[in-house]
Structures are given as C-alpha cells and as structure tokens.
Chains A and B, each alone.
Chain A
Amino acid sequence: MPEIDRREFLKIAGMTAGAAATVACREPVHKIIPYLNQPDEVTPGIATYYNSTCRECPGGCGIRVKTREGRPLKVDGNPDHPLSKGKLCVRGEFGHMRTYDTARFAGPMKRVVDASGARKLEKITWDEGMTLLVEALRKGSSKTVFLGGAETGTQDALIDQILAAIGSPHRLRFEPFGQEALRSADQIVFGTDAVPQFKIGASDVLIAFGTDFLETWLSPLANQLDFIESRKNGKGFAIFVGPRLGLSGSNADQWLAPNPGSEVLVALALASEVAKRKGGGPEALRGLLAKYTPASVAEKTGVSQATLEGVAARIAAASAPLALPPGVEVQGTNAARFAAAVQILNVVSGAVGKTLVFGPDHNLGKLARFAELRELVGKMRGGEVGVLLVHGSNPAYSAPQVGLSDALHSGNVFTVSFAFAPDETAELADLILPDNTPFESWGDGEPVRGVKTLQQPTVRPLFDTRPTADVLLDAARALGASVPAGSFRDLLVAAWGGRASFDAALGRGGEWKDVAATSVSLAGGVASLDFEPAPLAGNASDPVLVVYPSHHLYDGRLSRVQALHEIPDPVTKTMWGSYAELHPETAAVLDIEMGDVLQIKTEAGELKVAAYPHDTIRPGVIALQVGRGGLPRNPDAPLEPHSYWQRDVIGVNAYSLIPGKLDPQSGALAWLSTHASVSNTKGRAPVLRAQLTFDQQGRGFGMACTTGALAEAEAKHGEGHGESGAEEHHRFGEWSNPHRLHPLPLQGDAAHLPTRQYDPAADAHPDSPYRWGMSIDQDACTGCNACMAACITENNIPVVGPENIRIGREMHWIRIERYVEAADEREVDVRHTPMLCQHCGAAPCESVCPALATYHSKEGLNVMVENRCIGTRFCSNNCPYKARRFNHWSYDWYVPEPENWALNPDVMVRAKGVMEKCTFCVQRINGAKDLARKEDRHVRDGEIATACQQVCPSNAISFGNLRDEAAVVTEARNDVRAYRVLEHLYTRPAVSYLMNIRRVEEA
C-alpha cells in the first residue's frame, strides 16, 4: 500500500467531493400554468391567426398575425386582401416589435420641472391624466388643435366629430410624404385633386421620375406586386430618371440622370417627342410642347437629344405606358409643376384611362400641406393655440424647419402626446397619454377607395395604455359635449353594420368592392404655365444635396425597430448609421475616401457624416437618407451584449439640412433646393457594410441573360426544359463542358471550369419520398429585404449591434447580395442574389464537424443540431457560400421582457458558442409532415412555405420536394434560365437560381 501523507489525502478528498458535487446540480423548479378560461379557438401549442391591418406606413396593407396563446409572434400578409395579397414588406414584418418595445411608455406621464430646472417625466394615474386633459381642453376651449398623421376610417371621422363637439374643429393630418405636389398637379392638369391609381401592373413601359415606388411611394407593397407582375418572362421596360439609383431605380432597365432640378424639362421634352410621334397630341398642349423639345432641353438637363428621343420612341411605341410622378427626393420649389409635367406626359402617351385611372383613388385628399403646418406653428407663436394634441405624427423630428419646439415654448401651448413610445415630439409634451400600439388596437381604414380594411388587437394591452379614441370620448363627455355613447369599439362595430357583418368582415380582413373608373379631361389653363427647373441655393460648384426617404425606416417612424438598422440597406448595404453618398469623381475633387468624416453644411444646418463613395449616384450630388439621428432607443438600456448600443444616437437627422423653402403652388416642402458645402474633416469613422464591393469579379454569382437569348433558348428547348430534361444531359458522373449543356450562356468561372452532372434529387435516402430544394428567381427579386425580415422573426435571429457588425459578426441567415454590372443611360443591370444555405448534397461543412452537429438528413436537408455544436467553426471555414453564422455571445438569452415574448417557441434559442444557419424552416417542414401523418399521406406540393417564400412580394422563391416531378420547384430547376451558384465546386446545391433578364436589344 503506497504511503499517502495528510496533504495528498486532503487533495484527493477535496477533488472527489468537488466532482461528486458537480454531478448533483439540479434544474430549477419549472411551473406549468394553464388558462383560466380557455377560449374555444385556442389549443395550446397550435397557432391561431387573426386578420388585421398593418400600421407601419399609411399604405394600409392587410396582415394575418400568427399568435400563440395570446401573443403575436409573426406577421404575414393576408392572402384575401387586395393590397397585400398574402405578402408583406420589410417594415410590416416587424409590426409586433412595437408592442414588445422595452422602452415604451408604460402608462400616462406628466412633465415636471425639478429644482435644477431639468425636465422630467413623472408617472401618474389615468384619473389624474384625464383630469389634466379635461382641464386643459376646458381652458383651451376653441383653441385646441389635433395634429395627427394620415388617417381614414371610423377613428378619423370620430376625431373630427369630437373636435367639432368641443367647439374646436382644428385638425391637421401631417405626413412628411404628403403628396401635396401630386394633388396640386392633378388639380392643374385634370381639375380634380384626387390621387389616382397608377396601374403599374398593366403597364409595359414604366418611367419613374425619382419615384421610389418600391420603397415609400403611396402603396409600396402593392406597387411591387404589380411591378413584378408586369415583368414576367422578360416583359416590361422601366426607366428611372433621377440623381440617385435607389432600390426602385436599381430594378429599372435604363437610368437618366439629368442635372438635379431639371427633371421637369426631361418630362416635357419626352411629352413633346411622344406627342410628335403620335400625331401631335391634344390641341391645347401643342403650343406648350413646342417650347420644350429634346433638342432645346439637352443642354440644360445634361441628357443628350439622342437619348431623349430614344426614350420617347419607346414610350410612343408602347401599348400601355405609364409615367410616375416625382417622389420627394426630386421635389423642388417647382414641385407641383414638375408633377404636372409628368401628368402631361401621361396625357399625351395615352396612359390616362388605361394605366392612370381615376375612381379607385388613394385616400390622401385630407392630408395637410407643409405650408399648413408652418401656418399652424406661426399661430402657436402668436398665442392662438391653447392645446396641441399630437397623435401618430412626429413633426419635431421630420419638420425641424418649422421650429415647433420654440413655438410651443413661446406660445405657452399645453401639449398632449398620445405616442406609444418616446419620440422627439413627445419630448416636448407636457402630458403623455399613451395610445395602445397597433397590435393592441381596434380600428379600420380605407387607404384606397373601395378597400375598407379592418384592424383588430392580437394581444391584450401589455401596459397601462388606453385607446386614444376612448380617451377623447371620455374627455369630451367630461366637458359636457355631445358625442356618441359607448366605447370606440362599439362605434366601430356599429359603423360596420352590427356584430354579424362586423365578424364576417373580420374573417376576411375587411370589405372590398370595385370602384368604377371616372373619366377626366384636360383642364384649361395648362398650356399657359411655364416650367422652369427648380432653383438651387448655395454655391454652384458645391454638390447638390439630395435627401431621400428610407426603405427600412420610412420617414423615420420605424427607427425604434432594432432589426431594421441591422438589415443592410438595399442599395448601399450599410448598417447602423448614416452615410453621405457621393460619386467617386465628386469624392476625388474633395480628396474624400470611404470613411472620411465630412462636414456638410446648408443654410438650415450642418452635420458630420461618414462618406460613402459609390457608382449608382450621379456626379455633383451628395445624398443622405432620412430616418436616423433621433432619440436613443433606450437611454437606460443595460450594458449587455444585446442592448448596450441602445443608449447611443444612431446616425444623423438628414431633415435638419433641408432649408424651409416651399413650393408656392402646392405648399409642399422643397426637398431638393440647395447645394451643400462639403468639407473633409479628415476624421475617420467606421463604415459598416455587409458587402465590400458590388463587383462580382468574374465569379458568376448573379448571372443574367438577354431577352433575345432567352427567346432563342426557349424556342430551341421547348417550354421549360433546360438542363435535366432531355437524354443528352444524362451523363452523370462525367466531367463536362457546361456550355454545351446549358441552354443559356453561363458567366464567370462557371463558364469555363468543368463541372460534373448530377441529379439533385439523389442527395437523400433512397426510401425517402422527399428531397427538399428551393429555386429563386433573380429577375423577380427586387432586393427589398422582406425575406430577411421574415427569416429574422421566424427563427429568433438576434440583433447584434454596431460593434459586432463592425467586426463582421452579422447573424442573418439569408442575405441579398447586390452586384452592379451596368448603371448608366444605356443600361441598368443591377442583380440581387439572395444567398442562404444551399443545403448542398456534397456539403463541405458536413464532413468537418468533429461533434457531428451538422449532417445530411434522410430528406436531403443539411441539418444543424445546435445543441451538439462545440463551436470549432470549421464548418463555416469550409462553406464557399459563407452561409453559416456563429453566436459569439448569448444574444437572445438575455433579452428583457417583453421583448422575449416575440421569440418563436418552435425554434431553438441559440446560446454562445453555437453555429446556426438556414434550416429551410425545418420547423415548418416537420409541422407539415406531422399534419400529413395524421391523414396518413405524404406532404403535398405547396403545403410548406418557408418564411422567406411566404413573404416574398415578388414570389421569387419556390420551395418544395425535388423528387416530385410536378412540383413547382422541380419545374423551376429545369427552366432554361436555371443555374446554380458555384456549381463548378461540385457542392451539389439544392438551391437553384433563375438568371436575371437584361432587357436590351442585343441578343
């Protein structure tokens, strides 16, 4: 027996005890809490769906919200709704995050000034809040003003009624994108200020004058659905006229970039030439059009006569052309006249009555003009306003030109805000009576005549908030005003004809009926107008300042949604910040490099922004996106991996650079009105980019074919038979020249590197009825990022914050890669390639996992078992598509309540040290298989929709069983345009792409 001394004995004993103790660790006690009264339609574990309306922008799309046990988890489009048709945009997907905002107003508050003079918010009860409100309204009597946003429907009418009843019918519906110019233009040209339907879906040649129709203009989702419809199979041609190729411009086929402000002359020159080619045009306009010809405007606009004539020829030859009136970014002090010029182009090209239809108009008639807001603020300064009620509008942020803060102070205005979360205007308020968020509210609206959409709550109010309509009704009653009895919900039901018809409408999502088109004719006096380019203040040698709306943040109202800052901007692919975009030539003049901090100054203010030189903006222009630079999201956020950045201000407020010049005719704010003096401070700032270059560098990720080549290939190979259709292609295992086997020429490396033929359906177990695969139509993909948003909300993908993004730790499972092949007057060829895990049959990642955490399943999926992963990251090292993401921190584990209520319980929440990637929404696949098993059958094609497929407004993604000959995805894989990315690496990807179609004359 070897001798052990006391010390050694104690060591052994201690270690033994320690080892034994670790094994005795216990799980905490878990509770299981049932319903008190379980509603009939709810089965715990099975989702219940409710129809409602999205309120993230005034578009009014119908949504269907998936709830689990009374909590909304996922927002998708309502398939029955005529505006959204089952799809949703990147903003709408985050509608429920408003409700789960941790820094929301939790109840009524009043503003107090403490001893040191600091302004603070103090919590109060609803009783006290109502008392304060009623007192203020009584004192204010007829000097109360209600400042809201775009609103239609029952609540809108009710607010008018209440204001009239209390003797103060003063109301302004302020929207930064108020379409004032278009309404005035329609009045000038057609004698009615209605905003007509622009039937993009029925048009074959579309020309947009700086119109961001895929981003924020009117109903962007409906526009995208229509736009893609009009471009199926290589049809359609779109021309974008503007200083900067935004998302909408990136999807066009030709880009004209006239001198900023002179776009109005382009519109008239085109109208003149089109009229000439169509036999002269209306008599009344001939004199006017004769003054503006392509030859006479060429110099002022900087666009050559030949180009203008070419575009006009195309429009004249089209059977259903359509010109879209200017968006805000090109709106100068001649805004109304510019829009009128575009409407004149529509008149002479024959669009009116065909693709430009009055009747089913957009209900924007009651929106205030910017001039009216300025007038109101003037009244405040003069002491004519006693009480200001603010709801759904944030002019302190989006209209700094009017000086709201000073006016409220000097005019001694008692301000009440109904905002549900802190915003810049609520910062000025004396009393905050927070409204329920849209997902907690009843409501309705009529965004377009004939489409009446309903909104219902999908969760009980989380905090102590009340519907604004009810607050106003109670206040009016306390003042003794005569308002209808009952709650807002009672009035809403009554407005819809009683309970029975209301419930029926809820089941659909609303009520829609066709509205007959009304005919319009040219108004007199059009011909006597003169059209001048918009004047630009400042030094002519300085770049022109272009401020443009944000696709993700709209006018800034979405800036509290964290994920929208982290999804890369669709054009610049930047995240978490503001960047001044300019052309490399312009940058060279001032010796500016990417990341230099610039000082940009106009008469309205100055800002410091990092520079972002890139090619899809014209020289001589500097562009800034609106939406950022507001309040920090949560100044009290904990210093944890998931939240520390919420204390900071993100980016800059571009609105503050816009001088307050108005278009006298429409009262619109002139967004394009000045040059900006730009100086390089030589400071450096990080530019957070998801993509470092838009050049494919010859690797053939995003391929394209021309319309001519496509027609040839389709004729040769018959309908839809490409690669694996005919016998000639069945040479499995043989290395072969890809050119011979692909009907359309491949590009990049794939064109000259040999590849082996394979059958993708073989990459699954022989007995399995399924081999899951996907097909993505790049020509349909607009790069809108809706798929990224859907994937994030479905799969609990965390937001990692700017610091992690800077070192490349983004977590998105699907990304849109943008490749710019051409962007000029001859052609715009911008390709959007959604890239996700390809579920390769010969996956380089599967064979290198030491823990067997990733493997190829029997159904062909590349499975990631996250709980087995030990974090070597070898798999990501091997992935040629860089589809894998590593959790460097436990992002989602520590999100505070109620934000963690948004997590999907069907998907694992990943902790630190674990790899994750696209799973083809395996939770949905398994769910569908479970239901099919109940009925003792296989899953049918179309029963499974991955999150990205379900939401894609372009229907670009198809998913299904590659072993099913009749499946949509199999047909798409056999299409003439089909190809795989990096196929020559022989990874045998399950994801197939359809080539972009270049609409150029050459074959």
Chain B
Amino acid sequence: MGSGKRTAVGLVVAAVCAVVAAAGATGLYQYTPEELTGPEQPIAFNHQIHAGAITDGNLGIPCLYCHGPAERGWNAAVPAVSVCMGCHQYVKQGRTPGSEQEIAKIHEYYDKKESIPWIRVHRVPDYVQFKHMRHVQAGVACQECHGPVQDEKRVYLVPQTRYTKRSFFLPTAKLEMGWCMECHLQRGATDDCVACHY
C-alpha cells in the first residue's frame, strides 16, 4: 500500500473509532454531568419530600395530583403556580435547611404574577407526538420512563440503556426511539410509525 492510501485508510478507521468511542456504552446520547444529577431549577423543588413514601416520613402525594393532565390528555404539564400556592400559602417552612427561602421564592413569583420557568428534563423532539394518556391508561407506571422521581431530590434523566433486536443490538439511551421501541415490542404495543410521527 502506498503511503497516501495508508493515510486514507488510517483516517477512516480513526474516524469510525472516534465516533464509536464517543458513542460509548451509553449510546449515541452522551449525558452531561448536569443531566446526571439534574439541572438546577429556579426553585429547588424536592420531589422526595412531596412524593416520597409516607412510610419514610414523606408526604406521599400521588404523581397525578400535580401532573393530572398526564392521565386526561396528551401532554403531562407541570402544575400551575396556583397548585403550589394551594398548600404553600400556609406552609411557609419546610423540614430541610434553606426551605424557607425556596418557599419564599414561590410567593415572590406569584406576587409578581410571573410563572416559574422550570428547566425541562424529559423531552422528545418536535417531530414526535408523545401521548401520555395512552401510556398511563395502558398501565405504564410513571417511574418506568421517568425513573424513581419520588426518591429524587432533584429531577434528572435517569440513564438507562437498552439493546433492541430491531436496532441490531446497538445501544439506545433513554428517550431515544430505540429505547421506546424496546418496550413497545415487548408489550405488543403499536409499532406503527404514524402513531407518534405526524
């Protein structure tokens, strides 16, 4: 082989290795450190205290109390500020250090008539129409896709890699299409493209 051709082969091999290495064991989606521990939200809302098990001394509020539209509609919204104020107009102090300041922030937003700009953690691209209603009704627990949110102090995208037969066992990360399809194929749910892409 001439040296020019060697270079070309070397370049191609190196590029492929780089891509595969970068893809890594966690799939093509590379988690940032921030995602692994959850982005910092405008208010340090702690799901563990609110939604955690009562047996552990937490409040045990069911997911659907605040995220009701997940059951009734297509999008599961975050609750309106008025839902938070429902309790926190009276509950001005929490049990964790610094909770007084955080609760005061809710009051600040409400009094300024501004809504809280939460950072979105779980998101699928614009060309996917994900319908919460169908999944909740089919008996899929929130934790299956969102992870054990009731034990999380800060919401983050819990990493989970699946290897599906259909994608030739290449790794697919959480919320990528292959990850969704693994579950769909296992449970006999639809594999029709137009169910989600329209």
> Counting CB contacts under 8 A, is B169 at the interface?
no
> Counting CB contacts under 8 A, is B25 at the interface?
no
> Counting CB contacts under 8 A, is A858 at the interface?
yes
Query: A15 CA to B13 CA in the complex, in Å?
Result: 10
Q: A23–B28 contact, CB under 8 A?
A: yes
Q: B116 contacts which of A33, A45, A906 (Cβ < 8 Å)?
A: A33
A27 / chain B contacts, CB cutoff of 8 Å: 123
Give, as a whole number of angstroms, the nearest-CB distance from A22 to chain B. 8
Chain B, residues 127-143, CB within 8 Å of chain A (1/0): the string is 10101011001000000
Query: A17 CA to B14 CA in the complex, in Å?
Result: 9
Give, as a whole number of angstroms, the nearest-CB distance from B94 to chain A. 21
A4 / chain B contacts, CB cutoff of 8 Å: 6-7, 10
> Counting CB contacts under 8 A, is B183 at the interface?
no
Q: A29–B69 contact, CB under 8 A?
A: no
Q: A19–B15 contact, CB under 8 A?
A: yes
Known: A32-B120, A36-B113, A922-B194. A12 touches B80 (CB 8 A): no
Which A residues from 25 to 71 make CB contacts under 8 A with B? 26-27, 29-38, 43-46
Known: A34-B77, A38-B80, A926-B195. A23 touches B15 (CB 8 A): no
> Counting CB contacts under 8 A, is B185 at the interface?
no
Q: A20–B7 contact, CB under 8 A?
A: no
Q: A33–B11 contact, CB under 8 A?
A: no
Q: A19–B134 contact, CB under 8 A?
A: no
Which candidate, A304-312, A626-634, A862-870, is the interface stretch facing chain B?
A: A862-870
Chain A, residues 1-28, CB within 8 Å of chain B (1/0): the string is 0101100100110011101100110110
Q: A24–B30 contact, CB under 8 A?
A: yes
How many A-B residue contacts, CB cutoff 8 Å? 154
B115 / chain A contacts, CB cutoff of 8 Å: 33-36
Known: A12-B11, A46-B73. A34 touches B116 (CB 8 A): yes
Chain A, residues 497-512, CB within 8 Å of chain B (1/0): the string is 0000000000000000
Query: A15 CA to B197 CA in the complex, in Å?
Result: 35
Q: B194–A31 contact, CB under 8 A?
A: no
B19 / chain A contacts, CB cutoff of 8 Å: 19-20, 23
Closest chain A residue to B66 by CB distance?
A34
Give, as a whole number of angstroms, the nearest-CB distance from B176 to chain A. 12
> Counting CB contacts under 8 A, is A787 at the interface?
no
Q: B134 contacts which of A15, A36, A865, A930 (Cβ < 8 Å)?
A: A930
Interface size bucket, A side?
Answer: 35 or more
Q: B195–A45 contact, CB under 8 A?
A: no
Chain B, residues 6-24, CB within 8 Å of chain A (1/0): the string is 1100110011011101110
Q: B197 contacts which of A37, A38, A865 (Cβ < 8 Å)?
A: A865
Query: A200 CA to B36 CA in the complex, in Å?
Result: 69
Which B residues from 147 to 198 make CB contacts under 8 A with A? 192-195, 197-198
B109 / chain A contacts, CB cutoff of 8 Å: 36
B127 / chain A contacts, CB cutoff of 8 Å: 866-867, 908
Query: A623 CA to B79 CA in the complex, in Å?
Result: 60
Q: A34–B131 contact, CB under 8 A?
A: no
> Counting CB contacts under 8 A, is B3 at the interface?
yes
Closest chain B residue to A914 by CB distance?
B127
Query: A34 CA to B78 CA in the complex, in Å?
Result: 6
B6 / chain A contacts, CB cutoff of 8 Å: 2, 4, 8
Q: A38–B82 contact, CB under 8 A?
A: yes
Q: B22–A15 contact, CB under 8 A?
A: no
Give, as a whole number of angstroms, the nearest-CB distance from B196 to chain A. 9
B97 / chain A contacts, CB cutoff of 8 Å: none
> Counting CB contacts under 8 A, is A755 at the interface?
no
Chain A, residues 914-937, CB within 8 Å of chain B (1/0): the string is 000001001100100010011000
Which B residues from 103 to 133 make CB contacts under 8 A with A? 109-110, 113-120, 123, 125-127, 129, 131, 133
B39 / chain A contacts, CB cutoff of 8 Å: 29
Query: A76 CA to B159 CA in the complex, in Å?
Result: 45
Q: B81–A37 contact, CB under 8 A?
A: yes
Closest chain B residue to A919 by CB distance?
B198
Q: A20–B80 contact, CB under 8 A?
A: no
> Counting CB contacts under 8 A, is A855 at the interface?
yes
Chain A, residues 810-830, CB within 8 Å of chain B (1/0): the string is 000000000000000000000
> Counting CB contacts under 8 A, is A909 at the interface?
yes
Known: A8-B3, A8-B7, A907-B198. A20 touches B117 (CB 8 A): no
Q: A37–B80 contact, CB under 8 A?
A: yes
Q: A35–B81 contact, CB under 8 A?
A: yes
B15 / chain A contacts, CB cutoff of 8 Å: 15-16, 19
> Counting CB contacts under 8 A, is A691 at the interface?
no
B74 / chain A contacts, CB cutoff of 8 Å: 45-46, 930
Query: A2 CA to B197 CA in the complex, in Å?
Result: 50
Query: A695 CA to B114 CA in the complex, in Å?
Result: 61
Chain B, residues 81-101, CB within 8 Å of chain A (1/0): the string is 111000000000000000000
Q: A31 contacts which of B68, B75, B120, B129 (Cβ < 8 Å)?
A: B120
Give, as a whole number of angstroms, the nearest-CB distance from A644 to chain B. 25
Query: A11 CA to B19 CA in the complex, in Å?
Result: 16
Known: A36-B80, A38-B80, A909-B126. A23 touches B134 (CB 8 A): no
Query: A907 CA to B137 CA in the complex, in Å?
Result: 23
A923 / chain B contacts, CB cutoff of 8 Å: 129, 198
Q: Which of A20, A29, A907, A909 has the most CB of B within 10 A?
A: A20
8 A-B pairs with least C-beta separation: A45-B75, A38-B80, A35-B80, A44-B77, A23-B22, A45-B73, A867-B127, A19-B18
- New A-B contacts (16) at CB < 8 Å, excluding given A2-B6, A30-B123: A5-B3, A15-B14, A17-B18, A19-B14, A23-B19, A23-B28, A32-B77, A36-B114, A38-B83, A43-B72, A863-B192, A908-B198, A909-B126, A923-B198, A926-B194, A930-B134
A-B contact pairs, 7 of them (CB 8 A): A20-B18, A27-B123, A34-B77, A37-B82, A865-B198, A926-B198, A933-B134
